[in-house]
């Protein structure tokens, strides 16, 4: 029995701000995009309550509500939004092959990758509890720091991003306690010096988190221990920030696309192009610097425009977007 293969002009992988923005632009450009949502429909923002920094929402909006609106906007222009996880790709030939849930095969003229990145957490039960409750655990200081103005917070991490986030928080919060597992920073000297020279940042070296403390609803403090002396103490805090890195969701592309050492897709600077013709990238999957919904949306727009121009230059003639062949 021959397998049914679907042919698609523009396939979008991922349903965060990048994927839906790409879908809006691609649909309005008559590219009949098909978008696969993956395991987290709506992406990272579905794990947060208030989004206050996305332009156009003067009163703020919850992350899940914002993502429903983006989906509706894409569907209004007939973007085909589907459930499904892309498990395998083959970008070795002229036709880009993609498999959904290891079974369905799709042949695509263009592919827009918007698979995002996942913040790493410590994995403590108490951390996950308050993360799920939206009660004071965050992996994004730029997103959530504002909610802790004039309060005391704790941040975990030792790299450049952790230093940058600690410094950002120090401008908003009364006090920032930084927990560094080793006896030195991993960050560059200049970033470490900046943190060390900030009066309201206290750095505790050789210090790890034992438990995030709370009242059942919100964080009230952090129990820490010195990994050299095993001495324990509690730090009062209303916010617990985790800045130990992100993992881009790009494993399935590694045999075909250029990735950096962390796994972020390398794009041609100033564009959404990857090293493979017809394959474009948007959002956090290629962005270890900004990691914001608005920048993801912006690069989603770029990817759709780049894909449209690439198709136009090829003068591809597709009869119908989702025609079945074989
Ligand atoms: C708790 C939290 C709060 C935040 N708050 C803010 C905020 O207030 N303001 C702000 O601007 N930013 C905020 N951010 C950052 C923001 O969420 C991200 O920058 C943004 O969501 C990135 O968008 P994206 O489209 O690149 O990817 P994501 O939102 O990460 O979405 C990735 C999508 O790809 C899909 N996917 C992954 N792999 C596959 C696959 N193999 N097949 C199919 N689909 C796949 C997933 O299911 C998901 O739908 C926050 C992040 C977190 C974690």
pLDDT in tens, 177-189: 999 999 999 989 9
Q: Evaluate: CB of 249 within 6 angstroms of ligand 1.
A: yes
**Nearest protein Cα to ligand 1, atom 5:** 143
Bridge partners for 108 per DSSP: 8, 96
Q: What is the pTM of this model?
A: 0.87
Spatial distance between the Cα atoms of 324 and 94, rounded to a whole number of angstroms: 18
For residue 3, the model assigns a pLDDT of 62
273 bridge partner residues: 280
Q: What is the widest separation between alpha-carbon atoms in the chain?
A: 71
What is the three-class DSSP state of 128? helix
Residue 23 near ligand 1, beta carbon < 6 Å? no
Residue 19 Cα, ligand 1 centroid: separation in angstroms? 9
pLDDT for the residue numbered 50: 85
Instruction: Give yes or no for residue 180 CB within 6 A of ligand 1.
Output: no
pLDDT in tens, 79-104: 999 999 999 999 999 899 999 999 99
Q: How far is residue 15's CA from residue 192's CA, in Å, rounded to a whole number? A: 36
Contact criterion met (CB below 8 Å) for 73 and 25: no
Residue of 12, 45, 98, 252 to mutate, ligand 1, most atoms within 8 A of C-beta: 45
The Cα–Cα gap between 108 and 296 comes to: 23
26 C-alpha vs ligand 1 centroid, how far in Å? Answer: 20
Whether pLDDT at 324 is above 60:
no
Residue 297 C-alpha to ligand 1 middle, in angstroms? Answer: 10
241 pocket-lining for ligand 1 (C-beta < 6 Å): no
Q: What mean pLDDT value characterizes the chain?
A: 93
Burial 260-297 (b: 16+ CB within 10 A, else e): eeebbbebeeeebbbebebbbbbbbbbbbeebbbebbb
pLDDT the model gives residue 49: 78
pLDDT digits (tens, 9 = 90+) for 18-29: 999 999 999 999
| Mean pLDDT score, 197-212 | 98
Cα 264–chain centre separation: 11
How far, in Å, from the CA of 311 to the mean position of ligand 1?
A: 27
- Measured in Å, residue 38 CA sits from the centre of ligand 1 at 11
Q: Is the pLDDT of residue 321 over 80?
A: no
140 lines ligand 1 (CB under 6 A): yes
The structure tokens listed for 168 are 């950002």
Residue nearest to atom 1 of ligand 1 (CA): 48
Whether residue 1 has pLDDT greater than 80: no
Find, among 173, 165, 242, 158, the residue nearest to 205 by Cα.
158
- Assess whether the C-beta atom of 136 lies below 6 angstroms from ligand 1: no
For ligand 1, the distance from its centroid to the CA atom of residue 36, given in whole angstroms, is: 14
In the predicted structure, residue 235 carries a pLDDT above the cut 70: yes
Report which protein residue has its CA nearest ligand 1's atom 33.
14
pLDDT higher than threshold 60 for residue 254: yes
Ligand 1 pocket, residue 81 CB under 6 Å: no
How far is it, in rounded angstroms, from Cα 45 to Cα 52? 12
Q: Which of 67, 101, 106, 115 for a ligand 1 pocket mutation test, highest count of atoms within 8 Å of Cβ?
A: 115
Distance 45 CA to ligand 1 centre (A): 6
Beta strands, E only, the chain: 5-13, 34-36, 50-51, 61-62, 80-82, 86-90, 96-100, 104-113, 117-119, 137-138, 152-156, 175-179, 201-204, 207-214, 219-226, 232-236, 239-242, 246-248, 279-281, 324-325
Percent of the chain with pLDDT over 70: 95
CA distance 41 to 44: 9
> How far apart are alpha carbons 314 and 240 in whole angstroms?
51
Question: pLDDT (tens digit, 9 = 90+) per residue, 39-94?
Answer: 999 999 988 878 999 999 999 999 999 999 999 999 999 999 999 999 999 999 98
Q: Is 45 helix (H, G, I), strand (E, B) or coil?
A: helix
Is 278 a pocket residue for ligand 1 (Cβ < 6 Å)? no
Each residue of 145-169: pLDDT tens digit? 999 999 999 999 999 989 999 999 9
C-beta of 292 in contact with ligand 1 (< 6 A): yes
Positions annotated as catalytic residues are 140, 143-144
């Amino acid at each position: 029995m021959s397998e049914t293969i679907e042919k698609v002009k523009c396939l979008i992988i991922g349903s965060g701000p990048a994927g839906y923005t790409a879908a809006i632009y691609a649909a309005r450009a008559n590219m009949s995009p098909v978008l696969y949502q993956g395991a987290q429909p709506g992406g990272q923002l579905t794990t947060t309550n208030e989004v206050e920094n996305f332009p156009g929402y003067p009163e703020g909006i919850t992350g899940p509500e914002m993502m429903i609106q983006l989906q509706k906007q894409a569907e209004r222009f007939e973007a085909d939004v589907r459930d499904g996880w892309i498990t395998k790709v083959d970008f070795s030939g002229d036709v880009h092959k993609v498999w959904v849930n290891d079974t369905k095969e799709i042949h695509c003229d263009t592919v827009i990758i918007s698979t995002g990145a996942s913040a790493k957490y410590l994995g403590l039960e108490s951390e996950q509890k308050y993360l799920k409750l939206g009660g004071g655990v965050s992996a994004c200081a730029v997103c959530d720091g504002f909610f802790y103005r004039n309060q005391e917070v704790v941040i975990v991490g030792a790299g450049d991003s952790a230093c940058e986030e600690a410094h950002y928080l120090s401008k908003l919060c009364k006090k920032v306690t930084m927990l560094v597992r080793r006896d030195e920073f991993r960050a560059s000297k200049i970033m470490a010096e900046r943190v060390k020279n900030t009066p309201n940042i206290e750095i505790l070296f050789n210090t790890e988190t034992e438990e995030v403390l709370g009242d059942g609803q919100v964080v009230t403090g952090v129990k820490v221990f010195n990994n050299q002396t095993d001495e324990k103490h509690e730090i009062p805090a209303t916010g617990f920030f985790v800045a130990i890195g992100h993992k881009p969701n790009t494993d399935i592309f590694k045999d075909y696309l250029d990735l950096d050492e962390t796994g972020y897709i390398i794009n041609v600077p100033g564009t959404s192009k990857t090293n493979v013709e017809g394959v474009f990238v948007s959002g956090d999957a290629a962005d270890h610097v900004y990691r914001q919904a608005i920048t993801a949306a912006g690069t989603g727009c770029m990817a759709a425009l780049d894909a449209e121009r690439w198709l136009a230059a090829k003068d591809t003639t597709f009869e119908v977007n989702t025609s079945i062949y074989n």
